[in-house]
Amino acid sequence: MPQIAGQLGDLQYYAWVFSSFLLAQTATTVVFGKLADLYGRRSVLLVSIGIFLVGSVLCGFAWSMPSLIVFRLVQGLGAGAIQPVSITVIGDLYATHERGKVQGWLASVWGVSSVIGPLAGGLIMQHLNWAWIFWINVPIGLAAAAGFYLFLRETVSTQERSVDAIGAGLFTVAIAALMVALTEAGPAGSGTAAIAALVCIAAGALFVVQERRARDPMIAFTLWARRTIAATNAVTLFSGMAVIGLTTFLPMYVQAVMGRSPLEAGFMLTAMVLGWPMAATVGARNFGRLGLRPILIFGAALLPVGAIPFVLLSPLSPPLVAGFGSLVMGFGMGFLSTAAIVLIQGSVGWAERGAATASNLFARNLGSTLGAAVLGTVLNASLARGHAGSLQQVQQLLAGHGSAAGAVASRAGLAHGLHLTFWGVLLIAGVTLALSVFVPQATKEHGAPT
């Protein structure tokens, strides 16, 4: 991504390439969950894969950062269904006592694909056009769609239900306005940020009113307010903020500050995506012996430990320093995320499990969205305080152009800004740990199947 930003220009919009995708994904997670109840899992998955593939093709044809942001938004709309509906399918197929083990298997599959992804991306950047980073999704997506179409069998209920379209629209507006307010914060964009903040407050207030009057609200506030769900989702939200800070800005530091290749930057993130499924599998096998809450707290404690190496990075640091930090944070997220989803699912009866699961995925996606925006704002503010033309020189640095003197100055300014974002990641990880101690012991509500 850093090289793509260097070629397309407008580096100040860098964080929006990630935020637009996460925004659309977050806004549609709960909506697609309801649509899956109405029209069946398979139909919703096939439609969402189609939308995602259209967005992927368009991303490859992007001619500027704003166009790439718009096409990433389309991608995010399709991606909004994939994770929640897939986990819903697991809930349909497996009993409660088997879900932890199955979640570990899913994390392993995700881990393998996540290892292949960064490595493939680095190879594509070195040997092909960057557009193929997006176009490679097409054959993979078509194969997945064929699998769902041929092998997923289900009986769709004819029960009449409604989708809270007004609530979904107000929620999307509120989150989008919040993103703009965070991204434009600072002297240069203070007017835009103020207007966006007002829109966010107004849309958020209307959203609350709508949800209280809707027959089938998008978010059931009574469910979200329960202590187990509220505390676990708060931990999940902040952990999502911490991880997106790593995945968004570590590649930029490795390539532009440390002078490493895109392939080496991919290896740094590979350490995290290796640790995540490994810890998820180990944690799932020990839920019965150690308990869900201790495993969740242990995972949360690993996040600040893993974030410490990033604030100690320098241009001369060995790549193993960043790799170690990524691995530890991956372990933390593996323990934390798997324990969180099983803890929430086990705290409710069968009739509420779908909504409760969606709430946790929503919290993680919202945390990722807010994290990309907040930490992107930190980086932009740091670069804006630098010397004149710093954004243009940093852009040339990422693209591999510019004078030697300008590269040295830009690298120093970028290193300072990225260190501030890494301190932000450490702070957010510390908050995650503090919140985890408020998660109650696992409980099982009346009516939950065994």
**Is the pLDDT higher at 363 or at 399?**
363
- Please report where in the chains the tokens 């640091």 appear, as a residue: 317
Alpha helices in 40-136 (DSSP H): 41-60, 65-93, 96-127, 132-135
Amino acid, single-letter form, for residue 294: P
Which of 59-73, 88-102, 292-306 is least confident? 88-102
Cα 251 to Cα 274: distance, rounded to the nearest angstrom: 17
Cα 125 to Cα 261: distance, rounded to the nearest angstrom: 10
- Please state the length of the chain: 450
Separation between Cα atoms, residue 283 and residue 346, nearest integer Å? 16
CB under 8 Å to 402, separation ≥6 — which residues? Answer: 393, 396, 410
Ranking 99-108, 209-218, 369-378 by mean pLDDT, the lowest is: 99-108
The rounded distance, in Å, linking the Cα atoms of 228 and 55 is 37
What are the two backbone dihedrals, phi and then psi, of residue 260, each rounded to the nearest 5 degrees? Answer: -90, 170
3-state helix, strand, coil in the chain (%, to 5): 80, 0, 20
- Torsions phi, psi of 164, nearest 5? -80, 80
Closest CA to 121 of 238, 230, 269: 269
The per-residue b/e assignment along 334-349, b for 16 or more CB within 10 angstroms, e otherwise, is bbbbbbbbbbbbbbbe
More confident residue, 181 or 306: 306
The answer as to CATH 1.20.1250.20 being correct for domain 2-163+216-436 is: yes
- What tens digit of pLDDT does each residue of 164-176 get? 788 878 887 887 7
Please write the tens of the pLDDT for every residue from 106-128: 766 766 676 677 677 777 777 77
Please give the average per-residue pLDDT across 369-373, as a whole number.
81
Q: Which of these, 211, 233, 207, lies nearest to 222 by C-alpha position?
A: 211
CB 59 within 8 A of CB 72: yes
**236, 228 Cβ separation under 8 angstroms:** no
CA distances from residue 218 to 38, 212, 214, 215, 385 in whole angstroms, order as listed: 14, 10, 8, 10, 42
Mean pLDDT over each residue of the chain, to the nearest integer: 80
Residue 259 Ramachandran class (φ > 0 left, ψ -120 to 50 alpha, else beta) = left
pLDDT score at 404: 45
Its pTM stands at 0.75
**Residue 71 contacts residue 58 (beta carbons within 8 Å):** yes
Structure tokens at 55: 């967005």
Residue in this structure with the two tokens 């999704």, named with its chain if needed: 137
Give CA–CA dist 116/126, Å, rounded: 15
**Mean per-residue pLDDT, 300-318:** 91
Chain segment 211-254, per-residue pLDDT in tens: 888 887 877 788 888 999 999 999 999 999 999 888 888 888 88
**Pair of tokens at residue 7:** 């070629």
